Amino acid sequence: MKMTDRYDLAIVGGGIVGAWTLYLATLRHPHWRIVLVDRYRAGEGATAHSAGVLLATGRSARERKLAAISADLYGNVHAPFGLSTTRADVFWVADARSTEEVRAVAVDFSIGGGSIMQPELERRLGVSTHLDAAQTVLRGGTAISHDPGLIARSLISASLRSANVSCIEGVAVTTMQPSPPGTELGLADGRLLHAGRSVVAVGPWIVEQPFEPFADAHDVRIKKVVALHIDRAPQPDAAAVFFPQEDAYLMPLPARNQWLFSFRSDEWDCRPGKHALEINDRDRNVAKAVLRRYLPDLADLCCGGRVFCDAYTSTGEPLVRLDPSRAAVFAGAGSGAGFRLAPGIAEEALHLIEA
């Protein structure tokens, strides 16, 4: 008969959402026995490939609430963890008819009411811009570039200072079923874990067994996420620029002597194989089309980048839901905003398991 290890809380997935769930649970319930399980090494899955740019925005009331919670919590760990970040003022290039819609996304800042002159934008970017008469330039907010993998590992390391917390890496969860009062998780190495409460935060691996039925029930799909590097050193006061209509942004990365250009990929239903995804000609063509429209001097300076995939919901909002059939909370499907909203997603997940 197999021995079963027993815990108050099991967290499946050591990416940014799982790491925040662990950290907050450890602070709020220091006497709980908690285990974190990750099929690879914590912080090295989808989180490691994230662009890591933090700007508190939201398209809906719930997303704005999650963004506000997340901005506060990231701010709380910045100094204790000794995080090194890049900060950049943000300009917004938008259709003049949609300026109110653009202003509405801001959470802990405001987007200015008057249009910025194009030469000011060009001065802060260090390149010429192409804008037509229907577009306007606004200013507001500060974008902060982080290392998401480092933050995830730092949150987990801080949690492991408690003797009640443990971490299992390099082993997948292969089975998950109700076992009152809680859930039994079977691991690939044959071990069994029993948890009174469980949170599944596996990012794009939600479409893999044993989680696939939940993904199917909630119409979760996987989409490729790509950002290119632009091989040009930013000037000291370089600003970031967001293009809301294009779902794209340009962020200076002075520590790399490069810029990061994030844009909307349209490749769906890819699989989250850790080394299976790569930047292809289709990705580069999509990115360069946007750059040639607005920032033509940068279009031919693309040099590599980062690529992975993320889980998306049909509404574009994160999914935090109790699955009674498995006695577990599924948390994630960040729809490309998993890093930015992770602390808020973790808060929602904990509220459900504490109820």
> What are 3-26's pLDDT values in tens digits?
569 999 999 999 999 999 999 999
Supply the CATH number for residue 290's domain: 3.30.9.10
Within a domain: residue 67? no
Predicted local confidence at residue 231, as pLDDT: 96
Predicted local confidence at residue 4, as pLDDT: 66
Structure token digits, residue 103: 């202003």
Predicted local confidence at residue 322, as pLDDT: 92
Predicted local confidence at residue 116, as pLDDT: 83
Task: Say what the alpha-carbon torsion angle 329, 335, 337, 342 is, to the nearest 10 degrees.
Answer: 0
Terminal Cα distance for the chain, rounded: 34
Q: Is 7 left (phi over 0), alpha (psi -120 to 50) or beta?
A: beta
The label of the residue with tokens 């620029």 reads 241
Predicted local confidence at residue 2, as pLDDT: 53
The range of the structural domain enclosing residue 28 comes to 4-49+149-219+315-354
Q: What is the pLDDT of residues 209-254, one digit of tens each?
A: 999 999 999 999 999 999 999 999 999 999 999 999 999 999 999 9
Domain match, 253 and 292 both = yes
Domain match, 209 and 287 both = no
Domain match, 257 and 278 both = yes
Indicate the pTM of the whole model: 0.95
Domain match, 156 and 295 both = no
Q: In angstroms, rounded to a whole number, what is the distance separating the alpha carbons of residues 300 and 314?
A: 34
Domain match, 241 and 307 both = yes
Within a domain: residue 63? no
Domain match, 227 and 302 both = yes
Domain match, 255 and 234 both = yes
Residues of the chain with pLDDT under 70: 1-4, 274
Residue 187 phi/psi, 5° resolution?
-100, 160
Domain match, 211 and 322 both = yes
Within a domain: residue 179? yes
The label of the residue with tokens 């399980």 reads 37
Within a domain: residue 25? yes
Task: Give the total number of structural domains in the chain.
Answer: 2
Predicted local confidence at residue 138, as pLDDT: 94
Q: In angstroms, rounded to a whole number, what is the distance separating the alpha carbons of residues 260 and 254?
A: 10
Domain match, 169 and 279 both = no
Domain match, 213 and 257 both = no
What is the residue type of 28?
A: R
Predicted local confidence at residue 250, as pLDDT: 97
Structure token digits, residue 320: 């935090």
